A and B are shown apart, each in its own frame.
Chain A
Amino acid sequence: MTNSARSSNENPTGSAYDAAINELNKLLLILENVTNSITTSKYNPFYYHGALPQFYLWVLFLSGLLLFAYYIPTIDNAYLSARLVNAWTSVQYITDKLPFGGIIRCIHRYAGDAMVIFTVLHAIRVWFTDRYRQYRWVQWVTGIILFLMVLFIGQTGYYLVWDERSLLLTRMTASALEVLPIFGGPLKTAFLNGETITNLTLSNFLFIHIGLSFTLLFVLWLHYVRMTRPVITPPPAINYILVASILLVAFMFPITSGKMADLNTAPTSFEMDWFFLFPYAFMSAVPLVVFWVGGVIIAFVALVLPWLVRNVSPPVIPAEVVIDKCTGCSLCYKDCPYQAIEMVPAPAGSRFKLLATVKTARCSSCGICVGACAFDAIDLPNLTDSDVTAQIKALVEAK
């Protein structure tokens, strides 16, 4: 009888989906074991999966600030027309004339690519290790939103360069927006900041690029709000490797600019950046209707994934506070990893000031609060303190 502890990770229903995720989880475990044997757990990048994209975000902010200092968001600049000064020539100036300007540009671009890669790896890890549903749904949903935002920010970055690729991407986006029902026209006007491409268009792109980047910080706050002490900084040795790898790519693939965009030409193809521009490949391969319907379906399925498989998740049975034992010491509140405990004023007549209460929707049923409580005042209903002590006693005495 002693083994009454539940074993929820032993595929609860045996569905095909569960079996597949189980296999993928095992694969990850093997990879992580190999990494542990090289780096030990202290430096295992898998254990900093969320901190890696966060680190690249800081790199992007810093390098972006440097580029912003010299970038001019116009397609031509009449009052300086003696020498044409526009977005493209300012980027050219940054790349060729400014000391280390080209390098900063490489760092900004490749850190963006790296952020996409590590965001996807982070999402894959939380998915395969079953860390994405139930009480974690807020992190998952904000994660998908973050990913879409990162993609769009990267794409606006590509418009800003104002070479032929930028022109083609801008036109493709405008015509894709135009076909949308009801909002199509206004969206296109909002995107171009007018009916056609003008100087105002590029200032709009710059505004979106920078504005959305700062909005990321707000959405990240939502991403983190249900986690106590989120791990957002990898150890320095890993940071060195993260920076070094972008530098190597910068050396291997220096950025070369395309031709300046010319509104009187109609470029038809461009060099692909698969990390940010893959939606455009999809767009040019299928009719626009298919692009929009397909895109919306994919995004929607990704957003509701935590609920699609809800029926196979073992139910989470939240921790319960034993009201007359709780002393209000707050230890459980400090240690709960999902911010699921709130300290409220104790009921009238209590000897203590505070009382712990469990916010059931956030609780993961991990029992960390049980380990934190020195007064046996909080319990998991399906494995109480007294169950544990009884099991221990029975085991010591078993024949």
Chain B
Amino acid sequence: MADKKRVITLICERAADVNDIVGPSGLVNGMPELGMVKFPCSGMIQPLMIEAALKAGAEGVIVCGCQLGDCYYREGNKMIRERLLGERPPGLKKTVDRRRVMALWLSRLQKERFLSESKEFIARLGSMEKVEAKS
């Protein structure tokens, strides 16, 4: 798996509960293409961190916070959502490939939804790669 590209998830520790599927290295068990970084709140995610992941060679970044309206710290997920959309500073740089960023707002109980959405995202990135390799 060494040269296979990776998708990095920046996730709030109160959102979709992934504790039992993440190994000690931070990779998801059985899905080595998906890595997890946990935050106290999705509002802590700085757009620069997303850029850092892509620059380091990640294929894509998933941001995951709680259901909109249910942030434990009241507004964190709204903040990162607005930052991603460029409605609140600081935003993503213009050069960032927006197709490689996805955000999910899922409650603690929605692990399955998280996994299915990330699989789909990874597959989509894979097919994007193929198209680009051809052209």
Binding site for B on A (CB under 8 A): 2-3, 5-10, 29-30, 32-33, 36, 41-42, 44, 46-48, 129, 131, 227-229, 331, 335, 337-338, 364-368, 370-374, 376, 380, 383, 385, 388-389, 391-399
Task: Tell me how far the C-beta of B15 lies from the nearest C-beta in chain A, rounded to whole angstroms.
Answer: 11
Interchain CB contact (< 8 A) of A41 among B45, B67, B88? B67
Contact residues of B: prevailing secondary structure:
loop
Interchain CB contact (< 8 A) of A399 among B1, B45, B48, B73? B1
Binding site for A on B (CB under 8 A): 1-2, 6, 8, 13-14, 19, 22, 24-27, 35-41, 43-46, 48-49, 52-53, 56-58, 67-70, 72-76, 79-80, 83, 88-90, 105, 107-110
Chain A's closest residue to B34 (CB) is: A395
Contact A396 B8 (CB under 8 A): yes
Contact A228 B75 (CB under 8 A): yes
Contact A380 B44 (CB under 8 A): yes
Task: Tell me how far the C-beta of B134 lies from the nearest C-beta in chain A, rounded to whole angstroms.
Answer: 25
Q: Which residues of B contact A30 (CB under 8 A)?
A: 109
Sample of 9 further A-B pairs with CB below 8 A, known A10-B19, A392-B56: A3-B24, A32-B67, A337-B74, A371-B80, A371-B83, A374-B90, A383-B44, A392-B8, A395-B6
In the assembled complex, the Cα of A252 lies from the Cα of B8 at a distance in Å of: 56
In the assembled complex, the Cα of A385 lies from the Cα of B52 at a distance in Å of: 11
Most chain B Cβ neighbours within 10 Å, of A32, A370, A371, A389: A371
Q: Which residues of B contact A47 (CB under 8 A)?
A: 67, 69-70
In the assembled complex, the Cα of A42 lies from the Cα of B78 at a distance in Å of: 12
Task: Tell me how far the C-beta of B104 lies from the nearest C-beta in chain A, rounded to whole angstroms.
Answer: 12
Given contacts A2-B26, A2-B37, A395-B27, contact A366 B108 (CB under 8 A): no
In the assembled complex, the Cα of A115 lies from the Cα of B75 at a distance in Å of: 25
Q: Which residues of B contact A227 (CB under 8 A)?
A: 74
Chain A's closest residue to B13 (CB) is: A7
Given contacts A30-B109, A33-B107, A396-B58, contact A371 B35 (CB under 8 A): no
Q: Which residues of B contact A335 (CB under 8 A)?
A: 43, 75, 79, 88
Interchain CB contact (< 8 A) of A29 among B49, B57, B108? B108
